[in-house]
Amino acid sequence: MDSAAKQSVKELLARHVKDYQSLFRRFSLDLGTTAPELLAKTTLARLEAYAKSTTADPDLETLFCQFGRYLLISCSRPGSLPANLQGVWNDSNEPAWAGDYHSNINIEMNYWPAEPANLAECHQPFIDYVSSIREVSAKNTRRKYGKIRGWTVQTMNNACGVGYFLWNPPGSAWYARHLWEHFAFGRDQDYLRKTAYPALKEVCQFWDDRLKRRPDGTLVTPDGWSPEQYKYQAEEGVTYDQELVYDLFTNTIEAADALGDDKEFRDHIAGLRDKLLKPKIGRWGQLQEWEEDKDDPKDDHRHVSHLFALYPGRQITRATTPELAGAARVSLNARGDASTGWSRAWKINFWARLWDGDHAYTMLRSLINVVRETKTIYGESGGGVYPNLFDSHPPFQIDGNFGATAGYCEMLVQSHTGAIHLLPALPKAWPTGKVTGLCARGGFAVDMSWDDGRLTTAVIHSKSGLPCKVVCGEKSWELNTTAGKSYPLTINKNEKPNDE
């Protein structure tokens, strides 16, 4: 404070703006032109007009995407604690859900946009937090589960690693995937070796000790539950658990391959992954939430945890597992579109991964739905945004803002299958647009424009020097890249993105 007081307001503001814009200006998005009469209105008036009409307001949609980036820049910087349920905008000593770190999706959703939206530094507080709680979490885990290696967390957690409410056994696997994603996008070998891999290995050891071996060799997670389906608890082989363990093992295997060592452990984990109980398709065509086929087709709960493998996981994709992807679609349709704000944000990403841009856009519009009540309500009236664009859980809960920004990224670029897919879920509502600085796994950034739903220009910027495959519709490019160089793609003007 003394140091700041020695500088003028003008100097402090200039330093702040320079610091902020160094992050914010890495990524730009243009989704079209809004009518001048709308641009002249207040944000509230535009939100009200947007909710009452099917008329597009692309400038408002772009603003909402960038608002998520603004919030992450403003509440999660290196050296700080990670963003909690309210980011840093809690106004109460008794906030809803204790303003905590919820491990069953919420804190993870806060960081979904960090890597693709070119804010890797803003991911660091969460990574540091996970590293900081490893030791205390291991002690807590042994108190709960007895003699066991590794660690996991409970559903509700604080900054010191203190947990409460129900144990969430796959929660640490979900945490660990963020450590992996930071490497997948940035390709920093030193970080992988010193920070990410040790944590991945510890969480694998927890599951190596915890998995139940059945007589036929199948491995299942014991005593599981699917958030927040409380009537079913302490069950084996819950899909949510199984998918997260599969994801953990996959990330750890790829991490060991990237490092080129620890082969014995890597091969052991690969053997375990092969024996895991896999997702199943149920009697009404749904992706089963439980090993037993008992899903209720009338269940419209806001949590859709058994679709983790679709997003943010990568076990289920339209390209590699079309039948499971189709079952995920059935489950999504059964759960319905109406829900809380953060649930609508998750569904944007689900539909984007299914390459259904129009349904993803429907979910986005339903999220940019102005609401006025801040009491805890669910259902059709409970989801949307307040007049200041904060997500209504309700009450205010910031993960919906961050999940929505991630959804924009997934609609425009996907890179979870080993290739960079351009415009995989472009909605008809965005026929013309442009994006710059959108990041992809492998150490790449993408600039591109499109017109009439067709890709018109694209440049791949390589940060890592790795080879990459780029795909748009039926067209693909194979690039052998050099770190620090950019690669314009030769575009066929008649090429369209994935059409149903």
Q: What digits encode the pLDDT tens for the residues 169-222? A: 999 999 999 999 999 999 999 999 999 999 999 999 999 999 999 999 999 999
| pLDDT > 90 in the chain, percent | 85
Give the closest residue to 199 by CA, choosing from 262, 134, 139.
134
Average pLDDT over residues 428-447: 98
pLDDT for the residue numbered 497: 56
Average pLDDT over residues 42-48: 92
What confidence tier does 499 reach under pLDDT thresholds 50, 70, 90? very low
- pLDDT value at 81 more than 50: yes
What confidence tier does 52 reach under pLDDT thresholds 50, 70, 90? confident
Question: How is domain 55-414 classified at the CATH fold level?
Answer: Glycosyltransferase (1.50.10)
pLDDT in tens, 263-281: 999 999 999 999 999 999 9
pLDDT in tens, 90-103: 888 888 888 999 99
Question: How is domain 418-500 classified at the CATH fold level?
Answer: Immunoglobulin-like (2.60.40)
Give the closest residue to 32 by CA, choosing from 496, 388, 426, 437.
426
pLDDT for the residue numbered 458: 98
- pLDDT value at 500 more than 50: no
Q: Residue 285 contacts by C-beta under 8 Å, 6 or more apart in sequence?
A: 326, 327, 330
Residue 384 vs residue 192, higher pLDDT? 192
Which residues make up the CATH 2.60.40.1180 domain(s) of the chain? 418-500
Helix (H) or strand (E) holding 488: strand 486-488
pLDDT for the residue numbered 215: 96
Specify the range with the lowest mean pLDDT, choosing from 86-90, 370-374, 416-420, 485-489: 370-374
Which residues make up the CATH 1.50.10.10 domain(s) of the chain? 55-414
Tokens describing residue 242: 């199984």
pLDDT for the residue numbered 141: 97
pLDDT in tens, 275-318: 999 999 999 999 999 999 999 999 888 889 999 999 999 999 99
- pTM recorded for the entire structure: 0.95
Sign of the torsion formed by the C-alpha atoms of 339, 341, 343 and 347: positive
Mean predicted lDDT score pLDDT of the chain: 94
72-95: string of b/e by CB count within 10 Å (b at 16+)? bbbbbeeeebbbbbbbeebeeeeb
- pLDDT value at 376 more than 80: no
* Number of continuous H segments (helices) and E segments (strands) in the chain: 17, 16
pLDDT for the residue numbered 233: 81
What confidence tier does 381 reach under pLDDT thresholds 50, 70, 90? low
Specify the range with the lowest mean pLDDT, choosing from 42-46, 336-340, 422-426, 431-435: 336-340
Specify the range with the lowest mean pLDDT, choosing from 162-176, 225-239, 380-394: 380-394
Average pLDDT over residues 453-481: 96
Question: In Å, what is the CA distance from 305 to each residue of 101, 170, 233, 242, 476?
Answer: 17, 12, 14, 11, 33
pLDDT for the residue numbered 300: 85
Is the preceding omega at residue 395 within 30 degrees of 0, hence cis? yes
